[in-house]
Chain A
Amino acid sequence: MGVSVDSQFANKAYADQIGVTFPLLSDFTREITTKYGILNDKFPVAHRTTFVIDKNGVIQHIDREAEALDPNNAHAACSLLEHRKEQ
C-alpha cells in the first residue's frame, strides 16, 4: 500500500495515471505519518520510507529515503516472510 499526505482525490488521479491496483492511502492530517516518526520537519510531507510489516503487525524491514527508491530490498524481505510461512 502507498501512503502520502495527498488528498484522496489527488491519490485517485495519481492512481489512474500510473495504473496502480493497490490502495493509495491519504494521510491528509499527517497523524499516521507522525505516528510512524517520518514527518519531514522542513516541509509538511513524509520522508520517503518503506515498511515491511508481517502478519503479526511487527516491522520486519525498513528502507529510508534513497534506499526506498529501490524496491528490491523490500521485495527480498517479503520473499523471506513468505518463505518463513512455508516452513
Chain B
Amino acid sequence: MQTRLRMMAGAVLLALASTLAAQAGPLKVGDKAPDFTLPDQNGNKVSLAQYLGKKNVVLAFYVLAFTGG
C-alpha cells in the first residue's frame, strides 16, 4: 500500500515538473537554445544544429527588413 502511494506521489510530481518545464517563460542565459531550420536569403536551409560543436552563433532577430531595425 505504501509503495503504491509513493509511486502515485512520484507520478504526480513528475507530471507537475513537466507542466512547469513547458511553461518556463522567456528564454534566459544558461537555457538550451531551441533548434531551428529556416531558409536564408538564397533559399539555403540553415539550422542551429549544423553549428553545434563548430561555431558560436549570434542570432539577431530584427523587426522587419528595410526599416532600419
A residues lining the B interface (CB < 8 Å): 1-6, 8, 10-15, 17, 23-27, 31-33, 35-38, 45-62, 68, 74, 78, 81-82
Q: How many residues of B contact A (CB 8 A)?
A: 39
Chain B residues near A36 (CB-CB < 8 A): 27, 34, 61
Among B29, B48, B51, B55, residue most surrounded by chain A Cβ atoms (within 10 Å)? B29
B39 & A37 in contact (Cβ 8 Å cutoff): no
CB distance from B52 to the nearest CB of A (A): 5
Verify B29–A59 contact, CB threshold 8 A.
yes
Q: Which residues of B contact A45 (CB under 8 A)?
A: 63-64
B59 and A51 within 8 A (CB): yes
